[in-house]
Structure 1
Amino acid sequence: MATVGQRGASSPRELTRMGDRISFVYLERCVLHREDNAITAEDAQGVTHIPAATIGTLLLGPGTRVTHQAMSLLGDCGAGVVWVGERGVRFYSGGRSLNRSSSLVEAQAAKWANRRTRLDVAREMYRMRFPNENPDGLTRHELLGREGRRVKESYRREAQRTGVPWNGRIYVPGEFSAGDPANQAVTAAAQCMYGIAQTTVTALGCAPGLGFIHSGHELAFVLDIADLYKTEIAIPIAFNVAAESVDDIGARTRRAIRDHVNKSALLKRCVNDIKHLLLQETTLDDPDDIDIVTLQSDEGEVESGRNYADQDDIEVPW
């Protein structure tokens, strides 16, 4: 088995694009280790090999232990890691950017830093969630009010469709069982979407903390992106699961979300949506696997890898 010191970091061309990955893999009661470029999961049934570069997010359930080398490989491959608690969801994630270009994070920072463009992105996010409405001209407060009403309507609509009782959203951090079955399913679905969104945001090299709707949290932009799919995917699936049975509702919700996300190619759509919001692009064909480094000057960007000092008129103090 190659050690961390013996193996170099994967090159951009060796890594699977975010949009082509498995959305997430859930594991519990096993020991995770590394064998070459695969994660091994060992339990009483034997050893399972999982190609690390194909994972979007790894969900670690109760009874899992993970080695340093396994985490090193997951970070190198840009995979997110989420610890899932027995009676709720604990969210921790890590990974490296798969995008060697800084174009996305620079565009994000530029749009975020300007109040007008920040509001423009927030309106576009609303338009993407509710395409039959025109948010042009709405203030932030009006956007929040409309979004809140649409989400409440979604809860009521899904409750009526599935016949599941609904008395409002109840969520107590750290107390998964505090809510009824429908609320538990909604919580489990939401946390899965957060994991997928954070892994995608991180893999594209964006800044998780620079949100356009959410603010003041290290995952503000992650919450923005996850919310794009709340009323379309997370809430309907949660109510479907709650309508089927109240048994093992957290695990069943995760499996239902996973199956839908993989079938619908949500990761590829998520990548496209982020690029659309920040760059007004909708394709995945840009050369984001090429390392290009430039230097900033008063005239714009210039070629790196050379010394621009004129030794005749510039004194170098060292």
Structure 2
Amino acid sequence: MTPGPGTARRKLAAPTVAMLPRINDSLSFLYLDIVRIHQDDTGVCAEVTSERHATQTVYLPTAALSCVLLGPGTSITSRALATFARHGTTVLITGSGGVRCYAATQPASLTTTWLERQTRAWADDTRRLTVAKAMYEKRFGPGTATDATSLDTLRGMEGQRVKTHYQLLARQYKIGRFRRAYDPASWDTQDPVNLALSSANTCLYGIVHAAILALGCSPALGFVHNGNQQALVYDIADLYKAELTIPLAFSLHASTNPEAMARRSFRTELRLFRLLPRIVTDIQQLLDPENKYETPDPEEHLVDLWDPVVGAIPGGINHGLET
């Protein structure tokens, strides 16, 4: 029986996983606070209520967002959260201004290819040190981490280089001596540079977290940082701070609202630096430097069976029927 034209049109219009943007192609992030997020017949929308403008509704491009940061005063329905999950959008629960990350969602339909590579590299002390050295050389140039360099030495070298970077920018912007400080208990008393740096870094952490989850890796298994559920997030974010967040924070030394300015300026710079594709590529190169890989195909087999002799075998098959 030949399908009718109506059936053919429905098949063509039916959405598939492959239609969704890859993490490389997604928009960066969206920070929301004091809004109600829900799902209606059209899509996911945020309702903003104020005395001046009453209630305004803004629809969110869920399939094109890499992560959404939900600040204080935000409520979200289960239907809206389910839509974010289907589209692979990471949802982060943050503090005011996105300064702290308390929880995050992870898309469920992911291959474990990169998680397995990460786990093997993390569990082997030699390979773990190799990845840590590769991270250092991505920041400071090839050859800066010699074969004899230990992890303790790397940490000391990194600390000195970052301190020198702070001193150079402080002289450039004529703000005198600068000391990095992060104290949530006395947040409002900190200087504009520290406020802007903390705010921009948290946005950076959110984007890196989203990229790590989109690849299916574990944010908790870091190579330099350790003992925290965001250890790998801090590792990868450190690759870009000297280029992005630190110069931005010093440029806002005279701002009256450095936190908001840092978020807006950082979002603009992300488009110029095309950061998301860089994050994905850098993680892949660090975990498997001998090969070149693209982001896993969403149409590939998502579930295999493990066999100690032949390796992975296809899932979703009744192997009892085999003779």
Which TM bucket (shorter chain)? 0.7 to 0.9
* Counterpart AA for 1:267: L
* 8 Å CA contact retained: 1:22, 1:55: yes
* 8 Å CA contact retained: 2:33, 2:73: yes
Unaligned runs of 5+ in 1: 1-9, 313-318
Q: Does 1:198 align with 2:209?
A: yes
Equivalent pairs: percent with the same residue? 34
Deviations 1:44-92 (A, max 9, x none): 4421111201111212344433222222222222222234434772313
Counterpart of 1:221?
232
SS for the counterpart of 2:244 is helix
Q: Does 1:29 align with 2:34?
A: yes
Report the RMSD for the aligned CA atoms in angstroms: 2.5
Q: Does 1:261 align with 2:270?
A: yes
Aligned-partner Cα distance in 2 for 1:94–1:37:
25
Q: Aligned pair count? A: 301
* 8 Å CA contact retained: 2:94, 2:103: no
| Residues 293 and 175 of structure 1: CA distance in aligned 2, closer, same or farther (over 3 Å) | same
Unaligned runs of 5+ in 2: 1-14
From 144, 148, 156, give the equivalent of 1:134. 144
| Residues 42 and 19 of structure 1: CA distance in aligned 2, closer, same or farther (over 3 Å) | same
Aligned-partner Cα distance in 2 for 1:21–1:72:
18
Q: Normalising by structure 1, report the TM-score.
A: 0.86
Alpha-carbon shift at residue 197 of structure 1 (Å): 0.8
Q: Does 1:252 align with 2:257?
A: no
Aligned-partner Cα distance in 1 for 2:292–2:176:
40
| Residues 162 and 35 of structure 1: CA distance in aligned 2, closer, same or farther (over 3 Å) | farther
Counterpart of 1:7?
none
Deviations 1:184-206 (A, max 9, x none): 11111111111111111111100
Aligned-partner Cα distance in 2 for 1:140–1:241:
34
Counterpart of 2:279?
270
Counterpart of 1:4?
none
Alpha-carbon shift at residue 164 of structure 1 (Å): 2.9
* Counterpart AA for 1:287: D
* Counterpart AA for 1:17: R
Aligned-partner Cα distance in 1 for 2:275–2:41:
29
| Residues 208 and 37 of structure 1: CA distance in aligned 2, closer, same or farther (over 3 Å) | farther
Q: What pairs up with 1:281-292 in 2 under 5 angstroms?
A: 281-284=291-294, 287-292=297-302
* 8 Å CA contact retained: 2:69, 2:94: yes
Counterpart of 1:148?
159
From 119, 122, 137, give the equivalent of 1:112. 122
* 8 Å CA contact retained: 2:192, 2:252: no
* 8 Å CA contact retained: 1:100, 1:291: no
Q: Normalising by structure 2, report the TM-score.
A: 0.84
* 8 Å CA contact retained: 2:99, 2:202: yes
Alpha-carbon shift at residue 177 of structure 1 (Å): 2.0
* Counterpart AA for 1:41: A
Alpha-carbon shift at residue 41 of structure 1 (Å): 1.3
Deviations 1:156-181 (A, max 9, x none): 12212222344311111354224211
Aligned-partner Cα distance in 1 for 2:48–2:310:
56
Q: What pairs up with 1:178-197 in 2 under 5 angstroms?
A: 178-197=189-208
Deviations 1:133-177 (A, max 9, x none): 420221001000001111111111221222234431111135422
Aligned-partner Cα distance in 1 for 2:320–2:191:
68
| Residues 123 and 311 of structure 1: CA distance in aligned 2, closer, same or farther (over 3 Å) | closer
Aligned-partner Cα distance in 2 for 1:290–1:219:
28
* Counterpart AA for 1:69: R
Higher deviation after alignment, 80-89 or 143-152: 80-89
SS for the counterpart of 2:243 is helix
Deviations 1:252-285 (A, max 9, x none): 1011111111222100110111111112245536
Deviations 1:182-229 (A, max 9, x none): 111111111111111111111110011111000111111111111111
| Residues 253 and 260 of structure 1: CA distance in aligned 2, closer, same or farther (over 3 Å) | same
Aligned-partner Cα distance in 1 for 2:251–2:32:
23
